[in-house]
């Protein structure tokens, strides 16, 4: 006890120093047996000092270690801080908004992107409740979203946010739930991407697509569909189903030639249509088409070629209308029209016929009296009779004008082309006019080249032409003249026959030579007896000649004569006759 | 010289009369018929040298008569001149095709007709 006490009295660093022991056994320690109590005290102090020094050294060493540890720790913390700062800087690089909020939805992190997007700085945003600051419009009720978030740990959706300047934007938002060490929700990481522009474009596109689809679907009476470049059906619409009978899966991938009638397929019409469309851009067609059930309908079709920006053919659009009703109506209308015209022609014919009989009677009996067959006449009676005769002649002309002028186009019959030897119609016309010619002492001759090949013509119409031309020739030739009809092979065009009717009559003036074939042209030569009516004769002749594939023209010298010439194609079995082909095309 | 006989076929009595006066004045004998059936009958009976035939006849029109005449061997050789009020365009060609030698449209110039007749039966 005394050692302990004496040491206590010195009180060096009594609390911190590791005391050896505080038990009563301390008396038995390190006490040299030899020596006085004073020596042992000095010794004891020395020893103690040594001990203390050692402990101090140890402590110092420990302090150094701690200092080193602390310094390491500070360094690593500094490194961490730098890394964090770099990360934070990275987070500020993006234009996306990166927002972190705590359990109560208060903003704890707000990156530069968020500041840029929303117009609030970090200072303004931190601590605010996110959906209050941004006046968020949710696509689902917020509690539903939060439930999902808790379940999945994340959520994605579109939100509408209001910026600081009150404008609204749409964002694609992704939320991630942050949990603490025990798994309890701690906060949310929210990353938002401004998709306002994209949404606008998408909406516009969708709207236009909807409109287009509506338009196409709404066209119930229009088949609107697309073909690929080879003519296979690519798309189908309700109208197409309605008109043609196929549902889309039955027809997509099939060739559109399926819709054509067998005759058209044989002629290669479908391929032609595509070719024309790709050459001209578009091809319009009308014709019979076949439905799924085999029934036919009359279609009006427009096929348009579709090119992409690179100029490559992408396919065709095809719009088909069922015009069966319209066609039927058209045909009915046409029939009615034809019937009306036929009626009119018949009526006129009947009327003219009826008018001619009394005219004939006036003419016959007046001339009988004038010729003295009913007794002698006085000169005065003769004069008056001549007046009667002249007027009845005029009346006759007017009746002819009436009929010719009002005859409709369909009053003319169809042209039937066949091989025709010219000899017979020439002989017929000669016989018809030799009397009239003789009456005027006009010499009428027919010259037929030997072995003349057959013409490809309509004999009846040819005869008509000859009659019209001869009639004119004789009419306009004065007493004692000559009318010659000549037929030969055309020198300038050996595939044609040339027929010429020349007279020694009064001739036609140069400016009239082409005009005489016009509708309603009238020769107003003084002193010419017998008007040519409404001047339709030559017009009709021209029409008939042209319809048979020939040409007609006149050459003339005033006061000397006129030659009317026309050509007709020579009949050839081997060569295809273009005129015939023209006339045989379905009307 | 024997007189030539001409058969005039026309429904219209006035027409027949006018032709009768004309033809007789020109020294022809004249026979008459007013419809298709009697036309053939008279043709058989009189064996005319020439027939003046109207087209618009009852009991078979002029074309039927022409056809009939052509069908009968001994009548086919008789010259027929058609004298008709019908439309020339339609009727002329058809008449000639049916066997007529000439076609005149009424009213016909008497002089022309006479010349034609004399040309047919000289």
pLDDT digits (tens, 9 = 90+) for A252-303: 999 999 999 998 898 889 999 999 999 998 999 888 999 999 999 889 999 9
Classify residue A199 by burial, with Cβ atoms within 10 Å: 0-12, 13-18, 19+: middle
- ipTM for the complex? 0.85
d(CA A108, CA A102): 7
d(CA B83, CA B86): 9
The C-alpha of A481 sits at a distance from chain B's nearest C-alpha, in angstroms, of 17
Q: Tell me the residues of chain B between 93 and 122 that have a Cβ less than 8 Å away from chain A.
A: 93-94, 96-97, 101-103, 105-113, 115-116, 119
HSE of A334 in the Cβ direction (CA atoms, 13 Å)? 8
A427 touches chain B (CB under 8 A): no
pLDDT of residue A12: 45
d(CA A90, CA B104): 115
pLDDT at A344 over 90: no
Which of A255-259, A306-310, A405-409, B23-27 is the least confident region?
A405-409
Question: A8-23: per-residue pLDDT in tens?
Answer: 444 444 444 444 444 4
**Neighbouring-strand partners of residue A177:** A188
Task: Identify the top-confidence range among A31-40, A572-581, B63-72.
Answer: B63-72
pLDDT of residue A181: 86
Closest-CA residue to A425 (of A395, A468, A466):
A466
pLDDT of residue A449: 86
Contacts with B119 from chain A: Cβ below 8 Å: 434-435, 438
Question: Can you give the pTM of this predicted structure?
Answer: 0.42
Return the higher-pLDDT residue of A497 and A530.
A497
Q: Which bin fits A111, alpha (ψ -120 to 50), beta or left (φ > 0)? A: beta
Dmax (CA) of chain A: 218
d(CA A82, CA A194): 30
d(CA A286, CA A322): 10
Mean per-residue pLDDT of chain A? 83
Pure H helices in A230-300: 238-244, 248-251, 262-266, 269-280
pLDDT of residue A93: 83
3-state SS, residue A498: strand
- Can you tell me the mean pLDDT for A358-372? 90
Contacts with B82 from chain A: Cβ below 8 Å: none
Q: Please check whether residue B63 is in contact with residue B55, taking contact to mean a CB–CB distance below 8 angstroms.
A: yes
- Give Cα separations from A314 to A217, A273, A319 (angstroms): 22, 16, 17
Tens-digit pLDDT profile for chain B (122 aa)?
A: 578 999 999 999 999 999 999 999 999 999 999 999 999 999 999 999 999 999 988 888 899 999 999 999 888 899 999 998 887 777 888 898 898 988 888 888 888 899 889 888 88
pLDDT band at A215 (very low <50, low <70, confident <90, very high): confident
CB-based contacts of A457, cutoff 8 Å, min separation 6: A417, A418, A420, A548, A550, A568, A569
Which of A25-34, A277-286, A429-438, B110-119 is the least confident region?
A25-34
- In DSSP notation, A328-362 reads HHHHHHHHHHHHHHHHHHHHHHHHHHHHHHHHHHH
d(CA A229, CA A305): 9
d(CA A109, CA A128): 11
d(CA A29, CA A22): 12
Question: A154-190: per-residue pLDDT in tens?
Answer: 999 999 999 999 999 999 999 999 988 888 889 999 9
Return the higher-pLDDT residue of A373 and A410.
A373
| Dihedrals phi, psi of A132, to nearest 5 degrees | -80, -45
The residue in chain A having the minimum alpha-carbon distance to the alpha carbon of residue B113 is: A435
Residue of B13, B27, B52, B93 to mutate, interface with A, max A Cβ within 10 Å? B93
d(CA A462, CA A550): 11
pLDDT at A536 over 90: no
| Dihedrals phi, psi of A455, to nearest 5 degrees | -90, 155
């Amino acid at each position: 006890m005394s050692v302990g006490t004496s040491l206590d009295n010195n009180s060096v660093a009594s609390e911190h120093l590791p005391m050896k022991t505080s038990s009563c056994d301390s008396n038995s320690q390190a006490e040299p047996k030899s020596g006085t109590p004073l020596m042992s005290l000095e010794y004891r102090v020395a020893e103690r000092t040594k001990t203390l020094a050692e402990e101090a050294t140890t402590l110092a060493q420990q302090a150094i270690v701690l200092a080193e540890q602390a310094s390491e720790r500070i360094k690593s913390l500094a490194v961490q801080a730098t890394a964090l700062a770099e990360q934070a800087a990275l987070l500020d690089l993006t234009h996306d908004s990166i927002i972190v909020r705590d359990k109560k939805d208060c903003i704890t992190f707000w990156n530069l992107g968020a500041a840029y997007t929303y117009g609030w700085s970090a200072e303004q945003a931190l601590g605010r409740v996110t959906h209050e600051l941004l006046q968020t419009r949710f696509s689902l009720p917020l509690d539903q979203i939060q439930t999902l978030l808790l379940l999945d740990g994340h959520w994605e959706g579109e939100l509408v946010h209001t910026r600081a300047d009150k404008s609204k934007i749409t964002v694609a938002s992704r939320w991630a739930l942050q949990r603490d060490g025990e798994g309890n929700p701690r906060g949310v990481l929210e990353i938002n991407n401004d998709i306002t522009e994209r949404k606008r474009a998408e909406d516009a596109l969708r709207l236009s697509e909807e409109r287009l689809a509506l338009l196409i679907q709404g066209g119930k009476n229009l088949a609107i569909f697309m073909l690929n470049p080879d003519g296979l059906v690519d798309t189908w619409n309700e109208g197409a189903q309605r008109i043609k009978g196929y549902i889309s899966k039955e027809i997509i991938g099939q060739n559109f030639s399926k819709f054509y009638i067998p005759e058209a397929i044989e002629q290669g019409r479908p391929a032609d249509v595509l070719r024309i469309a790709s050459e001209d851009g578009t091809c319009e067609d009308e014709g019979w088409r076949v439905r799924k059930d085999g029934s036919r309908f009359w279609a009006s079709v427009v096929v348009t070629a579709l090119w992409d920006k690179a100029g490559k053919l992408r396919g065709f659009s095809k719009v088909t209308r069922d015009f069966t009703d319209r066609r039927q109506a058209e045909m009915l209308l046409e029939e009615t029209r034809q019937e009306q015209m036929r009626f009119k022609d018949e009526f006129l014919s009947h009327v003219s016929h009826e008018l001619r009989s009394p005219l004939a009677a006036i003419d016959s009996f007046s001339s009988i009296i004038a010729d003295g067959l009913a007794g002698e006449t006085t000169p005065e009676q003769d004069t008056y009779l001549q007046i009667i005769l002249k007027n009845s002649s005029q009346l006759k002309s007017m009746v002819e004008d009436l009929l010719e002028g009002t005859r409709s186009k369909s009053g003319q019959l169809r042209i039937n082309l066949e091989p025709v030897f010219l000899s017979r119609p020439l002989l017929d016309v000669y016989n018809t006019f030799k009397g009239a010619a003789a009456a005027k002492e006009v010499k009428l001759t027919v010259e037929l080249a030997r072995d003349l090949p057959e013409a490809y013509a309509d004999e009846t119409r040819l005869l008509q032409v000859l009659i019209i031309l001869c009639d004119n020739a004789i009419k306009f030739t004065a007493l004692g003249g000559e009318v010659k009809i000549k037929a030969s092979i055309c020198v300038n065009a050996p595939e044609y026959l040339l027929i010429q009717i020349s007279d020694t009559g009064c001739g036609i003036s140069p400016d009239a030579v082409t005009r005489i074939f016009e509708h309603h042209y009238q020769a107003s030569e003084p002193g010419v007896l017998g008007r040519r009516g409404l001047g339709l004769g030559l017009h009709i002749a021209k029409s008939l000649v042209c319809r048979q594939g020939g040409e007609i023209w006149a050459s003339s010298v005033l006061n000397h004569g006129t030659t009317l010439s026309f050509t007709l194609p020579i009949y050839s079995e081997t060569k295809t006759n273009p005129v015939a082909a023209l006339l045989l095309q379905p009307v | 010289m024997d007189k030539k006989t001409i058969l005039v076929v026309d429904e219209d009595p006035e027409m027949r009369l006018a032709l009768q006066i004309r033809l007789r004045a020109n020294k022809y004998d004249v026979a008459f018929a007013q419809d298709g059936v009697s036309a053939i009958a008279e043709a058989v009976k009189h064996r005319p040298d020439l027939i003046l035939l109207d087209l618009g006849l009852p009991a078979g029109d002029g074309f039927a008569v022409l056809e009939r005449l052509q069908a009968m061997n001994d009548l086919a050789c008789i010259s027929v001149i058609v004298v008709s009020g019908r439309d020339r365009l339609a009727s002329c060609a058809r008449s000639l095709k049916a066997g007529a030698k000439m076609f005149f449209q009424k009213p016909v110039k008497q002089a022309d007709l006479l010349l034609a007749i004399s040309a047919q039966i000289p």
